[in-house]
Amino acid sequence: MKDMEAIIAKTRNFVKAALEHDASGHDWWHIVRVARSAKLLAGLEGGDPYVCELAALLHDIADEKLNVSKEAGLRRVEDWLAEIGVDASTSETVMLIVSTMSYGGGGGAPMETIEGKVVQDADRLDAIGAIAAARTFVYSGWKGRLIYDPYVRPRASMTKEEYRSGKDTAINHFYEKLLKLKALLNTESARMLAEERHAYMLRYLEAFDREWELGNPDYL
């Protein structure tokens, strides 16, 4: 028990130091929200809360976007788990979770363990709702993209050429990913929590459209 507490405490410090200044929407507070939701979902759905918290804390340390490659990211997590003496079986489960939980267009293999389902849902819940909208605008700015382009009708998927030519706006990301997440959740508890957040995003997009119409009378 003491061991587990020490491992969680050390890992918190490690992740906090690594992501404290992240400006891509994957900052330390994202990790805190995901870890908290993962513990909540583990309580509701079953699943080892220690494994869930450890995987939630480490999930974005491995993220491809924040490392030179996917392999380099995963190695960072693996090295950390070895360094602090996490047992082989826990380490294996955590590695399996962090290596397979990314959205990747929504077509990834389903999570095998309940801990994997819970942590993936916790991460996805943070991509649905009001905070998710803020994260999307921050990420888009981090990438140097536009808020919205009225010449590009928002839609669920774009061609590679369109991505290359910068048509991938923040608003488009709602249609491309955020609005699809509710249907991809693994657990009933996460689906319940997602309901209000999803509805809020729809209201937000309606308000955005209304303001856009008002702000651009006959200018185009």
> CA-to-CA distance for 52 and 60, rounded, in angstroms?
14
- The least CB distance from residue 54 to ligand ADP, in Å, is 17
Q: In this structure, what token pair is assigned to residue 154?
A: 């928002």
Q: State the binding partner of 117 from ligand ADP, Ni ion, none, CB within 5 to 8 A by kind.
A: none
Asked whether position 99 contacts ligand ADP by CB under 6 A, the answer is no
| Amino acid code (one letter) for 53 | E
Site for Ni ion in 43-102 (CB under 5 A): 60
- The least CB distance from residue 91 to ligand ADP, in Å, is 21
Site for ligand ADP in 10-29 (CB under 6 A): 25
Residue with tokens 């590009």: 152
CA distances from 151 to 85, 146, 154, 169, 171 (A): 54, 12, 9, 11, 13
Question: Are 44 and 56 within 8 A, CB to CB?
Answer: no
- The residue within the footprint of ligand ADP, chosen from 117, 173, 197, 198 (CB under 6 A), is 173
One DSSP character per residue, 130-159 reads HHHHHHHHHHHHHTT--S--TTS---S---
Asked whether position 121 contacts Ni ion by CB under 5 A, the answer is no
What lies within 8 Å, CB to CB, of 151 at 6+ separation is none
Asked whether position 168 contacts ligand ADP by CB under 6 A, the answer is yes
Asked whether position 52 contacts ligand ADP by CB under 6 A, the answer is no
- The least CB distance from residue 142 to ligand ADP, in Å, is 9
* CB nearer ligand ADP, residue 39 or residue 173: 173
Half-sphere exposure of 178 (CA within 13 A, CB side): 27
Site for ligand ADP in 111-140 (CB under 6 A): 123, 127, 132, 135-136, 139-140
Q: List contacts with ligand ADP (CB under 6 A).
A: 25, 63, 102-103, 123, 127, 132, 135-136, 139-140, 168, 170, 173
Q: List contacts with Ni ion (CB under 5 A).
A: 60, 123
